[in-house]
Amino acid sequence: MRLRALLLKLTKGDWFTPALLLMILLGWLIPGPGIKSGLFSLKQLAEFGISVIFFLYGLRLSVKQLIHCVTQWRLHLVIQSVTFIIFPVIILLLRPLFAYGPFSDLWLGVFFLAALPSTVSSAVVMVSLAGGNIPGAVFNATVSSIAGILITPLWMGFFIQGSEGGADILPVFIKLTYQILVPMVLGILLHPRFGELAIRKKDFTRYFDQSVVLAIVYTSFSSSFSSGIFKGYGMVVILLLILFLILFFLAIIFIIRYLTRLAGLGREDMITTMFCGSTKSLMHGTVMAKVLLNNAATVGLLLLPILIYHALQLVFTGFMSQRFARKIW
């Protein structure tokens, strides 16, 4: 009873944050279910869950809301500037920190992370859980994903030579279309008929959203641990890289908070900027890494920082979403 009371006090009744930590532990101890492929695998169910989430978002969105979102230029300017300018510029300025030892090989991977677009699915899910501006999140996450297909290779072109044959961006577009855009558009079209019901039941669907996030965290960590991404580097190097990425994430959050105040954005827009501006897309990273580099070993090295950052952002944004939802922050 004392342990339970202590946990409730530490989490303030929030079950989601300790559940996120539990998924990480399970990904380390029991990765099997998380890496299994197939129609009814947990990984496939999580992918399907993302489509359902965006269908439900569409149900709660009206065309009028989306039109209003287009006019929110200050919100879009802050998010896209952080994603494609502030992120890479900071890593460029910090390049001397990676000049020695094994860290010199990791700098390119960290810069690649900084040049990537923001996530679509997890950013919008977290904005919804936190009570932010969902239409603004959908708009900016989609714009970021499309713009990143051009901007990320441009940034990376300063430091690496592109692979022969050019960039195959078709897989990214296909996945964005069938997993996110089609379900969301279908939901928007059905909004006049079922929108009011979806809005009334949003507290119930919140638990579904959280369950999908937990499944994503578990499958992501299961893949990371089972693939041995930490092998080849000493534990000290990995821990220092994790520490750096944590501090980097917190610095970005601080910068975003300052920019939102400077731009005069309200609470809902501030929440949206926090989650859309601080996250990076693992999906884009895995596709672009294979396109930009031919050497498989180098691709693995390029992906190491984004794999770690992806895991960290899921945990931190999950924790933040609960605090915003409970109006603790």
At residue 115, the pLDDT reads 94
pLDDT per residue rounded down to tens, the chain (329 residues): 444 444 444 444 457 668 877 887 888 888 888 888 877 888 888 878 878 877 887 787 777 777 777 788 999 999 999 999 999 999 999 998 887 766 777 898 899 999 999 987 788 888 988 999 988 998 898 788 778 877 888 898 788 754 444 445 566 567 767 777 788 789 888 988 888 887 777 767 777 877 887 887 788 778 767 877 666 677 788 888 999 999 999 999 999 999 999 999 999 999 999 999 999 988 778 767 766 665 544 555 677 888 889 888 988 998 898 889 877 66
Rg (CA), the chain: 20
At residue 290, the pLDDT reads 63
Tokens of 282: 């693992």
Domain range annotation of the chain: 39-320
| Interatomic CA distance for residues 315 and 308, integer angstroms | 11
- Amino acid at residue number 311: A
Tokens of 33: 């279910």
- Amino acid at residue number 93: L
- Of 300, 276, 326, the C-alpha closest to 120 is 276
The conformation of residue 95, written as its DSSP 8-state character, comes to G
The conformation of residue 266, written as its DSSP 8-state character, comes to -
Contacts of 304 (CB under 8 A, 6+ apart): 106, 109, 229, 241
Crossing angle (nearest 10°) for helices 16-29 and 296-325: 150
At residue 318, the pLDDT reads 86
Please state whether the predicted TM-score (pTM) of the whole model is above 0.75: no
Question: Where does 39-320 sit in CATH, by number?
Answer: 1.20.1530.20
Determine contact, residues 98/85, Cβ cutoff 8 Å.
Answer: no
At residue 3, the pLDDT reads 43
| Interatomic CA distance for residues 37 and 29, integer angstroms | 18
| Alpha-carbon dihedral angle through residues 68, 70, 73, 79, given to the nearest 10 degrees | 110
At residue 103, the pLDDT reads 75
